């Protein structure tokens, strides 16, 4: 019987822990640090996801059979390299491979070199040259800070003035640190998330999902970390799938091997279906959040076996149910801007509720983050799943939460 350690403490890790808990081969799950919901399924450790040396020591001392890493910050710190050096099975990419997410510049150069379809771009480190380029190419345009910026390093500028402001923040005021920016051609079309398990040149697709990034119904309001997601995607044809696999995911996995940084773990393609074909918006080196919370509940095969297969370079078995699954984020009022924490929540401990930002004190659950809970429901149609997910949300009582009601609705409301 196996012991597994999951690194991270959000909704994504709650869904990973939940999926692992279904494996008859796993006797014990630990989480570092986990959260109040994960604590119902795993033993939560007093170790932060960035305390990589402590995580390695714990895994060694407790003969952990497999470590699964959720957050990009842990990956960018080289946690997988350290675990592997200690002889521990670790699911995730090395620090070198995680660059595909951590550096926009690396990802764009890789795509250019290997002819992977993506927006046209140029890299700048001087404000004067960057603004001159924007004035020459015009708006809308997209400005991306070249580094991890907690999802805030991308500005879709509809005017030259907005672009100018972003360039000043990033190149003159060093808002995210001293660095470069990538300036990109603006693309239009529905976005979708294609996560694949990858080991070297072998690519095994998970079911696709769509995130909803805007805060309010009708895709209004500011961009967030994601307010809900659904899977599978009716607007993706077989042809789209073949294209995404054969022109994007497989060539990129092969390119990483050729570049000397083979990828192991989840390669996440943030893709857009534009009028001129499917193009890459970004890559992530990890499970998406909240996509994972709607994809993993659909997995009908053993995820522990699948993780171990990838770690050992074997082919995983991945089978899925045919149901539509929708998840709705319950966020603190004010998110993604300023918000207050510490409001009591009733109904947070239910099987289909993943915890994103909560804490437990004296048996009660309180809000403790921007995104707080994630309510998941399935149905034979998207519409049914949406109704059930909204009904589940209504069973949760808290004075300081808001949510979207229209997750997935664009796909069935004409």
- 3-class secondary structure, 255: helix
Nearest distance, CB of residue 289 and ligand GLY, angstroms? 4
Could you tell me which residues are beta bridge partners of residue 329? 374
Q: Within 97-126, which residues bind ligand AMP (CB under 6 A)?
A: 119
3-state secondary structure of 121: strand
**Left if phi > 0, otherwise alpha if psi is -120 to 50, otherwise beta: which for 15?**
alpha
Task: Please pick, from the candidates 92, 288, 297, 316, the single residue that binds ligand GLY as defined by CB under 6 A.
Answer: 288
Q: Give the three-state DSSP class for 115.
A: coil
Shortest distance, CB of residue 162 to ligand GLY, whole angstroms? Answer: 22
End-to-end CA distance of the chain: 50
CB of 29 or CB of 229, closer to ligand GLY: 229
DSSP label at 118? Answer: B
SS3 167: helix
Position among 58, 186, 216, 412 found at the interface with ligand AMP (CB under 6 A): 186
Look up residue 233 and give its two tokens: 């995607």
Residues contacting ligand AMP: total by CB under 6 A: 14
412: contact with ligand AMP by CB under 6 A: no
The length of the chain in residues reads: 414
Does residue 402 interact with ligand AMP by CB under 6 A?
A: no
Nearer to ligand GLY, 211 or 302 (CB): 211
Which residues, in sequence order, are CB contacts of 119 under 8 Å at separation 6+?
Answer: 142, 184, 185, 186, 187, 279, 281
Comparison of 8 and 270: residue with beta carbon closer to ligand AMP:
270
**Binding span for ligand AMP by CB under 6 A among 84-92, 181-189, 300-308, 331-339:** 181-189
What is the maximum alpha-carbon separation in the chain? 62
Which of these ranges, 36-44, 184-192, 241-249, 252-260, lies near ligand AMP under the rule CB under 6 A? 184-192
Residues 322-351 that bind ligand AMP (CB under 6 A): none
Residue 281 binds which of ligand GLY, ligand AMP, none (CB < 5-8 A, kind-dependent): ligand AMP
Cα torsion 33, 36, 38, 41: sign: positive
Between CA 221 and CA 230, with CA 225 as vertex, the angle to 5 degrees is 90
Residue 154 makes contact with ligand AMP by CB under 6 A: yes
Residue number with the smallest Cβ distance to ligand GLY? 288
The three-class DSSP label of residue 383 is helix
* Among 226, 297, 336, 408, contact with ligand GLY (rule: CB under 6 A): 226
Question: Of residues 210-229, which lie at the interface with ligand AMP (CB under 6 A)?
Answer: 213
Query: For the chain, what is the radius of gyration of the CA atoms?
Result: 21
Residue 282 near ligand AMP by CB under 6 A: yes
Place of tokens 């082919």: 315
Give the angle subtended at the CA of 389 by the CAs of 363 and 338, to the nearest 5°.
Answer: 60
Task: Compare residues 82 and 355 and give the one whose CB is closer to ligand GLY.
Answer: 355
Task: Report residue 400 as tokens.
Answer: 């300081």
For ligand AMP, which is the closer residue by CB, 121 or 127?
121
Question: Which tokens sit at 45?
Answer: 């450790």
> Which sign, positive or negative, has the C-alpha torsion 176, 182, 188, 191?
negative
Does 176 engage in binding with ligand AMP (CB under 6 A)? no
- The CA distance from 23 to 161, in Å, is 53
Whether the CB-CB separation of 86 and 64 falls below 8 Å is answered with: no
- Residue from 83, 100, 195, 281 in contact with ligand AMP (CB under 6 A): 281
| Nearest residue (CB) to ligand GLY, 23 versus 284 | 284
* 302 lies in the site for ligand AMP, by CB under 6 A: no
Q: Which of 81, 164, 211, 240 binds ligand GLY (CB under 6 A)?
A: 211
For residue 399, the 8-state DSSP code is T
49 touching ligand GLY, by CB under 6 A: no
Of the two residues 119 and 389, which places its CB atom closer to ligand AMP in the complex? 119
Q: Which residues bind ligand AMP (CB under 6 A)?
A: 119, 142, 144, 154, 156, 184-187, 191, 213, 270, 281-282
Q: Which residues bind ligand GLY (CB under 6 A)?
A: 211, 226, 284, 288-289, 291
């Amino acid at each position: 019987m196996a012991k597994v350690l999951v690194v991270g403490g959000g909704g994504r890790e709650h869904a990973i822990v939940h999926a692992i808990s279904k494996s008859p081969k796993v006797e014990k799950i630990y989480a570092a640090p986990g959260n109040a919901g994960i604590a119902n399924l795993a033993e939560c450790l007093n170790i932060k996801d960035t305390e990589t040396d402590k995580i390695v020591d714990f895994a060694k001392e407790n003969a952990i059979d497999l470590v699964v890493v959720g957050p990009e910050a842990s990956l960018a710190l080289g946690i997988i390299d350290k675990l592997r050096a200690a002889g521990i099975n670790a699911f995730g990419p090395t620090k070198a491979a995680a660059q595909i997410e951590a550096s926009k510049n690396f990802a764009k150069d890789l795509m250019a070199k290997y002819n992977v379809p993506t927006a046209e771009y140029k890299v700048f480190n001087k404000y004067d040259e960057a603004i001159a380029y924007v004035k020459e190419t015009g708006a809308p345009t997209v400005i991306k800070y070249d580094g991890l910026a907690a999802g805030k390093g991308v500005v879709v500028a509809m005017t030259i003035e907005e672009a100018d402001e972003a360039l000043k923040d990033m190149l003159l005021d060093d808002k995210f640190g001293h660095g470069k920016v990538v300036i990109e051609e603006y693309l239009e079309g529905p976005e979708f998330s294609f996560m694949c398990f990858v080991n070297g040149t072998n690519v095994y697709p998970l079911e696709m999902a769509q995130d909803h990034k805007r805060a309010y119904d009708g895709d209004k309001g500011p961009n967030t970390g994601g307010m809900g997601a659904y899977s599978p995607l009716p607007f993706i044809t077989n042809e789209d799938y073949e294209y995404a696999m054969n022109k994007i995911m497989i060539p990129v996995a092969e390119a990483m091997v050729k570049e000397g940084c083979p990828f192991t773990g989840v390669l996440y393609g943030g893709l857009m279906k534009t009028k001129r074909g499917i193009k890459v918006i970004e890559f992530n080196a990890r499970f998406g959040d909240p996509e994972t919370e709607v994809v993993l509940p659909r997995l009908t095969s053993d995820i522990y076996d699948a993780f171990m297969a990838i770690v050992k370079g074997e082919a995983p078995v991945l089978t899925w149910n045919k149901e539509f699954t929708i998840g709705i984020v319950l966020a603190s009022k004010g998110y993604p801007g300023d918000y207050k924490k510490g409001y009591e929540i009733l109904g947070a401990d239910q099987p289909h509720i993943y915890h994103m930002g909560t804490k437990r004190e004296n048996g009660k659950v309180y809000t403790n983050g921007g995104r707080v809970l994630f309510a998941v429901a399935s149905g034979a149609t998207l519409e049914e799943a949406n109704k059930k997910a909204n009904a589940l949300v209504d069973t949760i009582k808290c004075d300081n939460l808001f949510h979207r009601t229209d997750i997935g609705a664009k796909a069935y409301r004409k």
